Structure 1
Amino acid sequence: MNALPDPWPLSDEQRAITDLCRDFARNEIRPHARAVDEADVVTPVDIWRKAAEVGITDFMLPEDVGGGGFTDVFTQCLVQEELCFGDPGIGNLVCSNGFFADPVLELGTEDQKKRWLGPLTGPQAHMTALATTEPGAGSDAASIRTTARRVDGGYVLNGQKAWISNAGAARSYVVFAKTDPDQRSRGVTAFLVDADSHGLSVGEPMRKMGQRAIVCRELYFSDVFVAEADRLGAEGQGFHGLMRTFDISRVVLGAASVGAARAAYEYARDYARVRVQFDKPIIEHQAVAFRLADMATRIETSRLLVLRAARAIDAGAPDVAGLAAMAKLTASETAMFCTWGAVQTLGGWGYSREYPVEQWMRDAKLEEIEEGTSDIMRIVVSRHLP
């Protein structure tokens, strides 16, 4: 799948970071992926530290806070695809600080960027988390019920968040809460919250189908004080920052899906070349060959759409929500199709935990759910038809 020329020219720096992440995925991620999956609710801190040491966990942060300076979404997609080729859960984990950084970069002051993003750089980089989802508010982020009541010097947060990636391991959170509970999107405000804040607690790890490298927990806020200096943007501006974050994260997660799909395709293709049934390699059987053709075609289509959406965001296009939703929808469903296709191609062995494709199929399902389900993505696309 890498034999084709790049659809867009890459700089030497982009090629270097892509090569670095490709090698890291093959040498540090893929060999340990099954053990991480079996551990179920254990964050692979050792892999995180190795990624931090070579500059992968902070490559997307600005240079002026100590990061790698690849702030463009296009390069982030190149990296995400390569890492998630190694393993979707681990790949998403080692780049997860980018999801925390996006609203800080969009809404934060220069002082906030230095104070909160600086600790995310270097070999001892902290983990972070984005806290939006609640038990009763998933894709409908405007319906969150966590409140932020103004008091002298700041705000007091009360409420509950669910399915928060890295909760418990994170040293800091971007939390979205309602400063005006009677409003929907116009009442949402973003806050920077330290994990050691009094009144903030975490629940037990949530047991998941896949992407177990990213441990999710619930967060509980009981009169958590947040200084006014740690509010991101103005009151009521949080939803704008969140939607901007979603535009970026959906495209980046689309790239993650492309990586997962590519891994499944290449594994199934190589297996089909050596597995003999009815006196010939199964790749010579029409049903298998056609399935692999469909997988390869969907991967190339998804990659091109993801990179086009990334280019649009980087160019400052005024309305990218529909294109970002198209990219995530197409790529996530491609990942699900290709991982299913890999299991199908391996037959009974694909259903066995002896081979990685059954795990990749479980991992891929999350991409059709997180940051907006496929159903929601279709709604977004329908509202932004060209």
Structure 2
Amino acid sequence: MLPQLLNAADFDTILNGKKVALYTLTNKQGSVAQITNYGGTVVSLWVKDKEDNFKDVVLGYKTLEEYRTNPNAYFGSIVGRYANRIAKGKFTLDNKTYTLATNNGENHLHGGTTGFDAAVWVAKQTCSHTLELTYVSGDMEEGYPGNLAVTVQYQLTEDNALKITYWAITDKTTIINLTNHSYFNLKGEGNGDILDHNLQINAEKFTSVDQTCIPTGELIPVKNTPLDFTKEKTIGKDINANYDQLKIGNGYDHNYVINQTETLNLAAKVTEPTAGIVMDVFTTEPGIQLYTGNFITDTVLGKTNKKYHPRAAFCLETQHYPDSPNKPNFPSVILQPKEEYHSVTLYKFSTKA
């Protein structure tokens, strides 16, 4: 099966005076990524399976309108200014308290009511395999201080990785934590659940959470817990275990503390046995959030008109830890003027017989 490209016309429009479009990246292996500058969203990602057939391994929609009317899943989007949660929507910088939207119960999630996932980014496709997106988040947008100029570059590399590079600068002290929120199913989008995918995470600890999914501040060893993926096991093996941390999120929705030994570290490895597709995740970030699609609603129709269901995909969101602005013992997410935020993540694909 060859990649089935989505119709670019279904994304072409003008929103708030800005052009929205769908861009197609290719490499010499025949892999294809389609990305829209609405939210910097990865709409499709076609890679070969062990039989040399292409599969689209990310969930999403086939039209821009569906992304605009179903925003809360964040399918494939860039999320920010702060990915993940901030407790009670408050943080303090330089003795000043900032108040953000509380759009996840009593907490702030993924940048707020209108985060980067709903922004129209300025797009420039520099070659067949590279797309550059820029966005300026104004001072106090969604409650965050500073004019923040962000650049995100997507590259579909010749060694079959989707490489995402982030840069940002600010004119006022602020906080930043960016990630991509792609939902993966290596059997192909809409093809059942991901419980039989084999997962290994390069982490000895995770950040435990309270009943509202906010970190307690403790780094808990994964050893002898259902959150232990230091050795490869299926995602479904322990997902329903009688363990408080799993009950809170109805499955995995946890940040892992990556074992960092290099600048760019192998954070996770996923293998799907039937298609034989392998995905290695490399990142410069200190954490990675495993989310097993626990709250995907079965009313959602995907790109091929298949219903999505809970646990129809997994996310591996490279990031700083949730609620870091309120946890002094966590790695800092503060960005000062004259500094540059820089982060790199690769989702690299191969096959295994």
The structure having more radius of gyration, on CA atoms, is: 1
Name the structure with the higher helix share. Answer: 1
Normalising by structure 2, report the TM-score.
0.31
Name the structure with the higher strand share. Answer: 2
Normalising by structure 1, report the TM-score.
0.29
